[in-house]
Structure 1
Amino acid sequence: MKSLGWLIVFLLAGLAISIAVGFGFSAKEPVHYDAEQEGLDKKVIIRFSHVVAENTPKGLAVSRFAQLVREKTDGMVEIRVYPNATLFDDEKEFQALQTGKVEMIAPATSKLSSRYPAWMIMDLPYAFKNESEVKEAMDGRLGQLLFKAINDENIKGLALWDNGFKQMTANRPLIDPEDFKQMKFRIMASPILQAQFRALGAKAESYSFNDLYRQLQFKNVEGEENTLSNIYSKRLYQVQRHMTVSNHGYLGYIVLINKTTWDKLSPKQRAAIESAMAETTAWIRQYAKKMNDRALAEMKAKNLIHIHMQTNKEKEAWKKRLAPVYYQFKDTIGTQVLEEWKKLGADERAL
């Protein structure tokens, strides 16, 4: 019986060795894995922090982008969205991105113009006639130069999302340049915006977007500039009586991702994110304008604020008063960027 038992053990051992050889490895050989396949079964979480309401153009774009990424990666990359400055306000979000406390943000171009001076071109008053001209700029050589200017070691620029053009609000009518004198306005931290209001004879203070309503409510500032969708969604009409639809400045968002996070993604994951970003960017270009038009129509229909539509004569008076801002910053912005900007449209530029 003992000899039979040893025979069975011997036969089973031999069978195991035969199977191992049949599958191409032996007990003495290490098992090799495809390095590109390693970790692909692990879900990637990317935190996307932003400071506006979910029903604004940026808020909706982030949600749409997150959905597209989920679909394109079969759920293996999840974009977790944190709106309304629930993680970081617009004064702290860039540092949080640099240090990896969040993986994606979409700050306004104005917020980063001091860090990347080429982007100051987007803040110049009356720099663009309409949304089509902004699209032409960003899809061409000017856009290439601007994204090349994002040169922080741990930051990668992905896209520019539209929010539209800014309007002026205050508690008194703003028709002529003289109407701005001695007033205090809230602005984003941008040297050009500071210079813009200085040229109008006003003072400007920088506050976070989420603190704007309170600053207006308690009259720490008397006016502000913003897109129609932001004015409507943040109910700024409750603390401002007058609005001039001037379209004097463009407001867009630079979508940024932490470079360390980006480099850790697989080529397929990066391709999926770029595809989702391209689709979202095309969508928001159309939707932002529709949303701003809808916000204006709602405020008109409900008489939420006194609305003045700027005339061409008034626009020329504003442009004349604001012209020195161009000359003040032309060297800072740079010749290459300004030359590409001048090529846009058929009209003469301020420089």
Structure 2
Amino acid sequence: MKSFAFVLLGLISAVVIGFGQDLSLAKWSYDEEQEKLSERIIIKFSHVVAENTPKGLAVDRFAQLVKAKTKGRVEVQVFPNSTLHSEKTEIPALVKGEIQMIAPAFSHLSGTIPQWAVLELPYVFRDQKDVDEAFRGEIGRMLFSTLNQSNMKGMAFWANGFKQITANRPMITPDDFYSQRIRIIPSEVLDAQFRTLHAIPVGSSFNDLYSMLASGKVDGEENTISNVYTKRLYQVQSHMTVSNHNYLGYAVIMNQSFWNKLPADIQKAIDEALTEATQFNNELSVSMNESQFEMLKEMRVMEIHEQTEEERAMWRQALQPVYDQFAPSIGKPLMDQIKELHKLPR
């Protein structure tokens, strides 16, 4: 019996010791995992468009690239379709540090920083070459420098494409805009643009656009072909004029204080990821607009009119007062850069 008792005591001791070792190992593993989680850097990237648009796809690509390049140390959490913030709230939220990245349309910046209105001027870009030159050159540098005073860091310019006019009637000459209610991104420049054409501009969020057209609250709108296609605006609009009268693009912006606190190797990885995502976005925006334009033509769901050179000259002349109105607030340095841009041969 004594020997049995000693054996039993030995077994109990071994089990206890074994559990103790297991518990110690489990605690070590848990602490290590928690430590890894606590070290992970979270970037909340909020935007307002659908995931299948050039911007939406580029944000997702950026998130994947950041994860790969930082080996999981940085997680970019993406909030599309205004699920976290709308156009009105995303910039204040970024400045406060509630989110870390946004990609607002230029119109949402021009309301508080007048220089950004230069990118909204009608026919400011003749073609995609002008766009690329402006974003990569002195115009882009000058615009990003205006963000510093607001705790924002300009990171990249992303493209969506040239805007076209859609409506439920032909829009061929400037006179065709008379009394038409046109939905716009809320912007002083865009408001002035359509008032100059004697239309009635109606500012609204992008997510309200389809319902406004379907209910007849507005008669028409301006947008890129990819937005017309992905938002199915062709279901509630019968005509489109390919006018390329404005350009829709985005500024990718990060909270400056957040950026300053990042380790140098993380900053480098984010820069590299953003460079690749920007190239992806810009190539995709061109290809999507081209392919979806062909799809719209094949679907025959809208009457599509491609603006002639004579018609474009008429529109440009009618819209010249917009330049005269906003040139003083934009400032001579940027307006001079636009003049130089227009001198480049095409």
> In the TM superposition, what whole-angstrom CA distance separates every residue of 1:172-217 from its partner, at most 9, and x where no partner exists?
1100100000111111111110110011010111100001111111
Counterpart secondary structure, 1:336: helix
For the pair 1:302 / 2:299, whether they are aligned, the reply is yes
For the pair 1:49 / 2:28, whether they are aligned, the reply is no
**CA positional deviation for 1:91:** 2.0
> In the TM superposition, what whole-angstrom CA distance separates every residue of 1:33-76 from its partner, at most 9, and x where no partner exists?
xxxxx999711111111111111000011011111111110111
For the pair 1:197 / 2:187, whether they are aligned, the reply is no
Q: In structure 2, what is the Cα distance between the partners aligned to 1:345 and 1:67? A: 38
Aligned mate of 1:105, from 90, 94, 102: 102
In the alignment, what sits opposite 2:32?
A: none
Gaps of 5+ in 1: 1-37
How many residues align structurally?
Answer: 311
Which deviates the most, 151-160 or 322-331?
Answer: 151-160
Which residue identity does 1:151 align to in structure 2?
A: N
TM-score (norm 2): 0.87
**CA positional deviation for 1:247:** 0.4
For the pair 1:273 / 2:270, whether they are aligned, the reply is yes
Aligned mate of 1:151, from 139, 148, 153: 148
> In the TM superposition, what whole-angstrom CA distance separates every residue of 1:56-100 from its partner, at most 9, and x where no partner exists?
000011011111111110111011111111111212211221222
For the pair 1:129 / 2:126, whether they are aligned, the reply is yes
**CA positional deviation for 1:347:** 6.6
> In the TM superposition, what whole-angstrom CA distance separates every residue of 1:87-118 from its partner, at most 9, and x where no partner exists?
11212211221222221110100111121111
Q: In structure 1, what is the Cα distance between the partners aligned to 2:55 and 2:39? A: 29
Counterpart secondary structure, 1:247: coil
CA contact (8 A) 1:166 1:251 kept: yes
Which residue identity does 1:332 align to in structure 2?
A: S
Q: In structure 1, what is the Cα distance between the partners aligned to 2:228 and 2:291? A: 12
Aligned mate of 2:205, from 204, 208, 211: 208
Q: In structure 1, what is the Cα distance between the partners aligned to 2:143 and 2:256? A: 17
> In the TM superposition, what whole-angstrom CA distance separates every residue of 1:10-39 from its partner, at most 9, and x where no partner exists?
xxxxxxxxxxxxxxxxxxxxxxxxxxxx99
How do 1:132-281 residues align onto structure 2 when only pairs under 5 Å count?
132-281=129-278
How do 1:3-18 residues align onto structure 2 when only pairs under 5 Å count?
none
Aligned mate of 1:321, from 318, 323, 326: 318
Which deviates the most, 277-286 or 158-167?
Answer: 277-286
In the alignment, what sits opposite 1:73?
A: 70
Distance 1:242 1:275, change over 3 A: same
Q: In structure 2, what is the Cα distance between the partners aligned to 1:43 and 1:308? A: 52
**CA positional deviation for 1:271:** 1.2
Aligned mate of 1:346, from 336, 340, 343: 343
Counterpart secondary structure, 1:197: helix
Counterpart secondary structure, 1:343: helix
Fraction of identical pairs, as percent: 49
Q: In structure 1, what is the Cα distance between the partners aligned to 2:195 and 2:311? A: 18
**CA positional deviation for 1:283:** 2.2
In the alignment, what sits opposite 1:87?
A: 84
**CA positional deviation for 1:346:** 3.1
Which residue identity does 1:304 align to in structure 2?
A: V
CA contact (8 A) 1:89 1:210 kept: no
Q: In structure 2, what is the Cα distance between the partners aligned to 1:46 and 1:200? A: 43
> In the TM superposition, what whole-angstrom CA distance separates every residue of 1:129-148 from its partner, at most 9, and x where no partner exists?
11111111121111111111
Gaps of 5+ in 2: 1-34
Counterpart secondary structure, 1:133: helix
> Which structure dedicates a bigger proportion of its chain to helix?
2
Q: In structure 2, what is the Cα distance between the partners aligned to 1:345 and 1:287? A: 25
Which residue identity does 1:341 align to in structure 2?
A: I
CA contact (8 A) 1:244 1:307 kept: yes
Counterpart secondary structure, 2:317: helix
Q: In structure 2, what is the Cα distance between the partners aligned to 1:138 and 1:251? A: 13
Which residue identity does 1:206 align to in structure 2?
A: G
Which residue identity does 1:185 align to in structure 2?
A: I
In the alignment, what sits opposite 1:33?
A: none
